[in-house]
Amino acid sequence: MSRMKRSCRQIFARGINWFLALLSIVLVLTACSPPLGTFVDDLGRPVTIEGIPQRIISLAPSNTEILFALGLGEKVVGVTDYCDFPPEALDKEKIGGYDTPVIEKIVALNPDLILAAHGIPIDVINTLEGLGLTLFGIKSTDLDDLLNDIRTVGKITGKEEEANALTSEMEGRIAAVTDATLELEERPRVSYIVWHDPLWTAGSGTFIHELIEKAGGVNICQDITGYATISIEEVVARNPEVIIASELSYEWARNETLLENTEARQNNRIYQGDDDLVQRPGPRLVTGLEWFAHFIHPEIFEEPED
């Protein structure tokens, strides 16, 4: 009888061990299972994600930077000709220009996710969708929107934890700037020069405008919407105290005689911005904010670390 009891206990113990082992396997598989679901992208389209993407194509430099920042570099199989950051992106297969991707190259790479962005021609989107490819579009309009888009990309790629960590770090850096500038009484007038022939500037509704405001400045073209042309006479009349010029317009801004009467030129406050840091809605936009804060309020902010 005792032998039978011991045998029953052994069988029961083995059963419990097998059950616990099976339960562990189920829990692991559940944790790693693809997050099935339908998401509405920034283009207003419901997109069904069948499983965690393994082969991703980026149709914009900003998207490429987001993907790599989330640790998805190995899954990126194609990028545009303009995707140059991080350096590893240069080694990826090129699928054409930002607004002129080559459909045949995209199809040949057999992607299970194509990450699009604002500005991609609608006929390209319709063609890719018609071929049965999964395309998800993001369109960041401001810093808060960018943070949300990064979180969304994390959800549809199985990198939600990484996305939350990245956006938390970005939010902390943004707060470090805005907390220091929120109550400032002195807010210099700032002009941003996108291009000089003809003269283009950044008005409200642009990332550059938001960076100027958060960095403690006043955009002299805040009454203009979007990116627009402006006469140099109008810039002089608005008399910027700080001029931030794009890389290709910096030397022009330093030497243009018509700008000599602006306070920015008289006080040697013309700075060269990094186009990629302030015009790409990716994680490095926060670094662009920190550079703007240094340009506008060097008495408060030191040069950002690279």
What is the pLDDT, as a whole number, of residue 11? 47
Q: What is the mean pLDDT of residues 33-42?
A: 74
Res 30 pLDDT > 50: no
Q: Which residue ranges make up each domain of the chain?
A: 37-171, 184-296
What is the pLDDT, as a whole number, of residue 120? 86
Taking only the tens place, the pLDDT of each residue in 72-100 is 999 999 999 999 999 999 999 999 998 89
What is the identity of the amino acid at 268? N
CATH of 37-171, picked from 3.40.50.1980, 3.40.430.10, 3.40.50.300, 3.40.50.1240, is 3.40.50.1980
Closest by CA position to 149, among listed 158, 136, 161? 136
Burial class (CB in 10 A: 0-12, 13-18, 19+), 244: buried
CATH of 184-296, picked from 3.30.70.20, 3.40.47.10, 3.40.50.1980, 3.40.50.2300, is 3.40.50.1980
What is the pLDDT, as a whole number, of residue 22? 47
Taking only the tens place, the pLDDT of each residue in 221-240 is 999 999 999 999 999 999 99
Percent of all residues in the chain with a pLDDT value above 90, rounded to a whole number: 82
| Cα gap 226→129, rounded to integer Å | 30
Number of residues written out for the chain: 306
The single residue listed with the structure tokens 């990245």 is 166
Res 107 pLDDT > 50: yes
3-12, 149-158, 283-292: the lowest-pLDDT one:
3-12
Taking only the tens place, the pLDDT of each residue in 112-121 is 999 999 888 8
pTM of the model: 0.86
Res 127 pLDDT > 60: yes
What is the pLDDT, as a whole number, of residue 17? 55
Res 274 pLDDT > 90: yes
Q: What is the mean pLDDT of residues 180-208?
A: 96
In this structure, are residues 298 and 241 in contact, taking their beta carbons and an 8 Å threshold? no
Q: Per the omega criterion (within 30 degrees of 0), is the bond before 198 cis?
A: yes
